[in-house]
Structure 1
Amino acid sequence: MTKSTEKFGFVLPIVLLSYFMILLDNSIVFTSTVKIAADLHLGSQMLAWVSSAYTLTFGGFQLFGGRIGDVYGRKRVFLIGLLIFSFGSLMVGLSTTATMIISMRALQGVGSAILAPTTLALLLDNYHGAMRARAIAAYGTTAGIGASFGMVLGGVITSAFSWRYGFFLNVPVGLLMFVMTIRFVKDGGTPRTTRLDVEGTCLSVLGLSGLVYSVDGIAHQISALIMAIVALGLFIYAERRVKSPIMPLRLFADRQRNSAYVARFFFIGAAFAYFFVTTQALQKLYGFTPLMTGLAFLPATIPQFFSALQVSRLSSKIGNARLIVIADFLVALGILLTVVLGLNRGYWVAIAIPMVIFGIGQGLVLSPLTAEGVANTDPEIAGAASGVVNTVHQFGQSIGIAIVVALTSRVHDYSRDYRDQLLIITVIAGLSIIAAFVLMGSTSRQEARSVSAKQ
């Protein structure tokens, strides 16, 4: 047994592998859409729903998924999430019709919405002090690597085998995690609260699902947006009145956490939009196959992995907030550099070199953003805080892609289209930098108050 395992036990590996599985599955779809459409004879609208159905339930049930762990116990809820996600993955892989794959992708999303916040809450329950900081750093690292590696693995699996294997892979992994959770994860004991906020749950699912649909939907998007605004307004009103809210509003009383949520929202929006448009650019501009497209992201994935290993050391030296500012700057620089160098210079100069800078930034940013997003929370609201972090993550992804696609939809020259998309993505990344500076100011003021109180 390694020194790391002696310290952390098996909870951390179980949590990280489960979270990695969710993120991997989401990214694999990017490089598999063409094959899925061909095998199941899907038109563009039905194909869009293969991604949207997952996004709709994943985003819509996030707060519910985070809070039920607080009410019914993390271990029990985590096991249920694993079963739902694994069964959904199996059925997606076996799908033969549009209706089947879309409905099973929606079921997968429900499983992910339960697993994602529960994994982070389990870390908060099981680790404290320096060990918690290191566990959260590993969790944030997994968030970035899972997304990037999914692009690589998706291209390899789709080209060498079938897109179905990308989903079948989740089944044995999910069952292994189920058995290991029963064996090694301790029940947290009596739940912190005994009542689920049914009214808030229904309104949050309706509001968040409507908001996701207003971004990713095919028709009636304005109606969905109006419904979402009304439902979320009623949700906030309801949360002020109930004793055990699904999203305690005191989560947003801390400026440090709020700044981290905003910075994460814009960073994820920029990162996933970059993955989305670059995947298409590699195939349309350079004629890459799905396999080549997946491997083309290695210049981002490999530096990201090694830079993520330095997060704990750097954050302890310069602080989370300063590290987020530096990392966000590197991400924005990597995206903008492709525009400056010019696509006519070819993949290695125009794409691969900027990807290295982008990957380093991404490897450094997610761990401190995760730590700041759950900072200053008590055990009673740990699940709810984790749900908010993952909700922000999911919505940033959806809205970032939607904004970029909407603003460039009328451009028909793909080389110009990709250049314009990268400029928009750079602006989104810049908004994350601004939020990171606000976070740095909030952190500095809080540290000053702590020093003053001690004196």
Structure 2
Amino acid sequence: MPDVRMASPQGKWILLTTVLGSSMAMLDSTVVNVALPRIGEDLDANLSALQWTVNAYTLALAGLILLGGSLGDRYGRRKIFVIGVVWFAAASLLCGLAPNAGFLIAARTLQGIGGALLTPGSLALIQASFHPDDRAPAVGLWSGFGGIGAAIGPFLGGWLVDGPGWRWVFLLNVPLALLCVPIALRHVPESGDGSKHGRFDVLGASLGALSLALVTYALIEARDGSLVIALTAVAGVAAGVAFVYVEKRRPDPMMPLDIFASRQFTAVNLVTVCVYAALGGFFFLAAIQLQVVSGYSALQAGTALLPTTVLMLLFSARSGALADKIGPRIPLTVGPLVSAAGLLLMLRVGPDASYVADVLPAVFVFGLGLVTLVAPLTATVLASVNVARAGLASGINNAAARAAGLIAVAALPLLAGMSEEAYRSPDAFDSAFGRAMLWCAGTLVVGSAIAFATVRTLPPDCRKPECLHHGSITSPPLEGVRSQSRLAGEGEG
């Protein structure tokens, strides 16, 4: 049984290294959007290249995060976590040295692979190391510090872009890794799952990632309108169908389909897709709108979006407690509608927008909606399956959210009628941004309708710290992804 106490020197070192590791991935996901206009200007990149700068990372992370958790179970969580941190830092160095957009996109893909290795291991190391009596407060501290990191991310990104330059958004990860790795090797005990058996679902992971990649490519390049793009879209759908077929027939699938026998789990994942598609699209475009159209500096744009994360960090615990009392249906219905109202307020953010009168009300209302729904969303996911499958359920939910953001970043500029050079023209981008916000708000309304129609009113009764203290706006909290093949055969509760 794990026996490290949180107050011990070793416990403090474990917390430090896991916070450093998770902060690398969390900071990267929040600071890159702020840097996009400057990246495009410096590397002479069009809108498609900026979309791929975001999506190459998300694609690798979403496609491989479940596999990354399984690797940690099999070969040791500390080992895979350290490999992930080193990989992530090396890829970050390549991003920071990128001479052109194509090189940057390739390096971002490598960065996503590193993220898939380190992200599941960060929380899993805490769960596997600390004494049961200290596990909940340790996870609470880990989540709180991670939330603080997410909160300062846009501010830090803007400061780096306006100061040393956008390349330091990536280069910052290198010193963090140099601090994190020695601490992990010296102070974090190794852990794994000795009962892990069966083969890795490499075929399933490959088909899932291939499907996402082909569909994303088709959406981003759809302006071309060529036969090749159409065939790519068809091939992406076919790969998705093959993924489902393989997962249904394999004895040890990466994503056992029987977990979707829980109607509550299926419904909440549909809500997740709607919510995080809207979030992904909004945060991709909002930082560009503020800089290109409203004339904000990168630092001002990053700071402008800060209230959303601060609200989540301060009030998620109260939202989760309220959901425990009244059930998840009302928060998951009302929250998306409030966030949709915030996105409609963003229609007022145009040339020379006032922060106090135009931007702050929009991001504040948007953040209130997220506060209302994020903790109940995660709690309901974990409560909708057998407790032994919580890691698997959380991993699927996290991957679904990232995939939804991936597709949104690919599809939204197309749906809003943005040209390849739109972000170079304030008038053109402003017009398309308004249409994009309508699409995002509509997606949130659909999510609200799904929640109202399908989510049961039973309270989720989940007070896990990773549910309640969460500041990330790019993905749901991640429970340790444990023992996928062993859990695949267990039934629902």
TM-score of the aligned structures, taking structure 2 as reference length = 0.77
Letter in 2 for 1:91: L
Q: Which moved more, 1:306-315 or 1:222-231?
A: 306-315
Aligned residue number for residue 206 of structure 1: 210
- Render the CA deviation track for 1:372-391: whole Å, top value 9, x for unaligned: 33335568755543432222
For the residues of structure 2 that align with 1:59 and 1:298, how far apart are their CA atoms?
25
Aligned residue number for residue 448 of structure 2: 433
Q: Which moved more, 1:128-137 or 1:370-379?
A: 128-137
Compute the displacement of 1:108 (Å): 0.1
For the residues of structure 1 that align with 2:327 and 2:295, how far apart are their CA atoms?
43
Is 1:165 aligned to residue 168 of structure 2?
yes
Contact 1:334–1:354 (Cα < 8 Å) also in 2: yes
User: Kindly, what percent of the aligned residue pairs are identical?
Assistant: 30
Q: 1:263 to 1:250 in 2, by over 3 A?
A: same
- Render the CA deviation track for 1:16-57: whole Å, top value 9, x for unaligned: 543332132123221212322344444555444333332332
Root-mean-square deviation (CA), in Å?
3.7
Aligned residue number for residue 272 of structure 2: 264
For the residues of structure 2 that align with 1:191 and 1:53, how far apart are their CA atoms?
34
Compute the displacement of 1:187 (Å): 0.5
Give 3-state SS (helix, strand or coil) of 1:350's partner.
Answer: helix
Contact 1:140–1:367 (Cα < 8 Å) also in 2: no
Which residue of 435, 447, 464 corresponds with 1:420?
435
Q: 1:119 to 1:418 in 2, by over 3 A?
A: same
Aligned residue number for residue 452 of structure 1: none
Q: 1:215 to 1:410 in 2, by over 3 A?
A: closer
Structure 1 residues 15-34: aligned runs within 5 Å: 15-34=18-37
Structure 1 residues 268-287: aligned runs within 5 Å: 268-287=276-295
Letter in 1 for 2:202: V
Q: Which moved more, 1:354-363 or 1:209-218?
A: 209-218
For the residues of structure 1 that align with 2:184 and 2:454, how far apart are their CA atoms?
36
Q: 1:175 to 1:15 in 2, by over 3 A?
A: same
Which residue of 228, 247, 250 corresponds with 2:258?
250
For the residues of structure 2 that align with 1:128 and 1:242, how far apart are their CA atoms?
36
For the residues of structure 2 that align with 1:196 and 1:348, how far apart are their CA atoms?
52
Aligned residue number for residue 451 of structure 1: none
Aligned residue number for residue 354 of structure 2: 346
Is 1:102 aligned to residue 105 of structure 2?
yes
Which residue of 335, 342, 356 corresponds with 2:364?
356
Letter in 1 for 2:234: I
For the residues of structure 1 that align with 2:131 and 2:232, how far apart are their CA atoms?
42
Contact 2:89–2:177 (Cα < 8 Å) also in 1: yes
Aligned residue number for residue 385 of structure 1: 393
Aligned residue number for residue 197 of structure 1: 201
Letter in 2 for 1:302: V
Structure 1 residues 313-328: aligned runs within 5 Å: 313-328=321-336
For the residues of structure 1 that align with 2:131 and 2:243, how far apart are their CA atoms?
33
Q: 1:416 to 1:102 in 2, by over 3 A?
A: closer
Q: 1:60 to 1:341 in 2, by over 3 A?
A: closer
Letter in 1 for 2:447: S
Q: 1:143 to 1:431 in 2, by over 3 A?
A: farther
Q: 1:283 to 1:345 in 2, by over 3 A?
A: closer
- Render the CA deviation track for 1:254-293: whole Å, top value 9, x for unaligned: 1222222111111111122222232222223321121221
Q: 1:54 to 1:414 in 2, by over 3 A?
A: closer
Give 3-state SS (helix, strand or coil) of 1:287's partner.
Answer: coil
Q: Which moved more, 1:58-67 or 1:427-436?
A: 58-67
Give 3-state SS (helix, strand or coil) of 2:383's partner.
Answer: coil
For the residues of structure 1 that align with 2:55 and 2:406, how far apart are their CA atoms?
9
Counting helix residues as a fraction of each chain, which structure ranks higher?
A: 1
Compute the displacement of 1:144 (Å): 7.3
Letter in 2 for 1:370: T
Q: 1:35 to 1:46 in 2, by over 3 A?
A: same
- Render the CA deviation track for 1:33-91: whole Å, top value 9, x for unaligned: 23223444445554443333323322332343243334434333222222211111122
Q: Which moved more, 1:97-106 or 1:44-53?
A: 44-53
Structure 1 residues 368-379: aligned runs within 5 Å: 368-375=376-383, 377=385
Letter in 2 for 1:433: S
Q: Which moved more, 1:206-215 or 1:428-437?
A: 206-215
Compute the displacement of 1:190 (Å): 0.9
- Render the CA deviation track for 1:110-132: whole Å, top value 9, x for unaligned: 11122334445556656899987
Which residue of 139, 149, 153 corresponds with 1:150?
153
Gap runs ≥5 in structure 2 = 420-426, 463-493
For the residues of structure 1 that align with 2:102 and 2:353, how far apart are their CA atoms?
43
